[in-house]
Structures are given as structure tokens and as C-alpha cells.
Amino acid sequence: MAKRVGVDKWLFGVVLLLVLFGLVMVFSASAVMAKETLGSPYSYVGRQALWALLGMGALTVLMRVDYRHYNNPRVVFPAVAVTTLLLIGVFAMSGMNGAHRWIRLAGTTLQPSELAKPVLVLFLAYFLQTRIHLMDDVKGTILRAAAVPLVFSALILKEPDLGTAMVCMAVTALMLYLAGARMRYFAIGAALASPVMYYMLFHVKFRRDRMLAFVNPEADPRGTGFHILQSLIAVGTGGLHGLGLMEGRQKLFYLPEVQTDFIFANICEELGLIGAVIIVALFVALGYRGLRAAFLSTDPFARFLAFGLTTSILIQAFFNMSVVLALLPTKGIPLPFISSGGTSIFITLAGMGVLLNITREID
């Protein structure tokens, strides 16, 4: 067994910096809008700070709980069952902007798709740890491993939330690859998924409009191309040094969802290229420390768990930044630790607590 040491202080420091940076940017992005629409400039940041505090509490507790406790069917399968029920339960709730993504309880909201990502990682880590030498068994390994991710992704896609469903499937593919799955299985999976993706992208009107706007946003600058154009204006206006904290203009009712999905655009506008590079560097550092823990771990369960928790954050951050920079079509994916969203920051910090506990076993 590896020598027991303290948690990875570099990883803990990076997470703390991202959370603090996120609170500052949520306030900067939302203060004016919150004052006009909710009566207080602190409405969004106050709620975000509360969830961040609860999340840091969860992180502190979970980084002291031995990760081996999760390597138990009495933990894994109830977690999968509860998550499935929550993903189904959203459809019993009234929709918001045509989507069923939230469960409302006691004056707060829970987004089950955020919980689905770490639970998916937990299931795959538990299942694949003993299947490393059985990855050619299609029925006994590949299909059984893919069952839970497919159910989760189908329910999330129904909400509809294509972006989060794609994150789930990308994490699944990477974990299967880490386990040793052959490339032909990924090729078959891609071939089977292609008709579904084609239908979802080009036969669902709002997604087709987003795809057309992605190709040519100037064709409808006040409609489908509005998000992309306003985001690019914010990014371009920032230049090297930015306009200064709190000095952004696109957040003044020009760029929608600026405190959530498009907060990276506000960072680019106010802090410029330097601020954007700092954010990217922090995610790179998080990725390095997380993947280091995964590859240095001698326990297969810990390796898969650390790898999945790390890559889920990196993929989500990549998607968010790519949307802001118009490298991918517009989709609603928050920037981990930074975007406003209580469920997102709480679940992400709890996952980091588990990852930090794994780092205790790394020399």
C-alpha cells in the first residue's frame, strides 16, 4: 500500500482559487442585473456564496472519508437508483423555458443532471476495476458498462440537455479507454450514435437554429446569432488587459446568461487575455494534479474514480470555453466552480473532496 500522506495541497489550493475567483466574477457579472430585476446586487452572489460554503464543507468532510467506503455495491447501486429516480422526477415538475431540468424543494432547486456525472463515474469505477482483463467481452463488460451511462444520457437528453448528455458519454468513453477497450468498440458506438446525433442536431428546431447560427451568426444577429455575436464582442473588447473588474459592458442586458453559461465571456471582457489565461492555467493545474493522482494510484478503483472525476471537470470546462469562443455551437454548460449555480458548485466540490482523499494515498 502507498504511504499515507496529507492531501494534495496544490490541488486543494487550485480548487480554492477557482471558487474564490468564481464568486468575484459572479458578483461582477450579475450585480447590475440583480439590482434591476431582483432589487439587490447581491442576490446571485449571495446564493452562490452559500452553496460554495456548503460545498467547501462537503469537500472538507469527504476528503477525510476513506474513498474505499464507496467501493461497495450497497453504496453504488442505491446511488444509481436514486439518481435515476431524480432524473425521472424532473418531468413531474413544471418546465422552465421549455426544459425540465430542476426539482424544486423547500424554496430551492436541485439539478439531477449534475449529480448524474459523479454517480456515473462511481458506477464505472466500481464496475471496471475487475474487468480490466475482460474488455473483449462485449456482452459481459462493454454493454453492461454502457447501460447506466446510456440510461442517464437518454433521460438528460429528454430534459432536453444535449450538452450534459455529451459530457456523460465523453467521460464514459474515456473511462472505457482507460480500462483497455479496443478502438473498434468506439467506432461501432460512434456509428450507432451518429443517426441519433444527426436527428437531435438537425431535426429539432432550436438545435438546428443553433447549428445554423454557429455556421453564420451574422445571418440573424438579433435572433439565433445573438448569443454568439455578443459573446465574441465581449471577448474581443477585453483585449490583453481587459476593461477592468466590474467595468464590462456586455453584461448590461446585452449578453444573456452572463453569470452562468457565458461567464467566461465576461472574464475575457473585464480581465482580458491575461485573466482568461489564468483561468485556463488553473484548470490545467487541476487536471494535472487530478490525473497524476489517477495514474500514480495502485488501486484500480481509485485510479478510475480519480480519472473520471478529473476528466468530467476538464471536459465541461472545455465545452463551456469553446462555446464562448464560438468554437462549438451554443449549449448550456456551466463553467465548473465559476458559473452561478448551486447544485453545480456543491456537487463539484463534493467530488473534489473524494479526489483529495484519494491523493492521501499518493507518495
17 exposed, middle or buried (CB, 10 Å; 0-12, 13-18, 19+)? Answer: middle
Q: What is the pLDDT of residue 108?
A: 78
Residue range 116-140, pLDDT digits in tens: 999 999 999 999 999 999 999 999 9
**pTM of the predicted structure, to 2 decimals:** 0.94
Q: Tell me the domain boundaries of the chain.
A: 9-359
Residue range 34-79, pLDDT digits in tens: 898 888 999 999 999 999 999 999 999 999 999 999 999 999 999 9
Cβ-proximal residues to 19 (8 Å cutoff; 6+ apart), any chain = 52, 55, 56, 337, 345, 349
Q: Residue 94 — pLDDT band, cuts 50, 70, 90?
A: confident
Of the candidates 11, 298, 317, 294, the residue with the CA atom closest to the CA atom of residue 177? 294
Can you say whether the dihedral through the CA atoms of 8, 12, 14, 15 is positive or negative? positive
Helix (H, G, I), strand (E, B) or coil at 105: strand
Q: Residue 5 — pLDDT band, cuts 50, 70, 90?
A: low
Instruction: Answer yes or no: are the C-beta atoms of 275 and 268 closer than 8 Å.
Output: yes
Specify whether the backbone of 141 is left (phi greater than 0), alpha (psi in -120 to 50) or beta. Answer: alpha
Q: Element (H or E) spanning 57, and its range?
A: helix 43-62
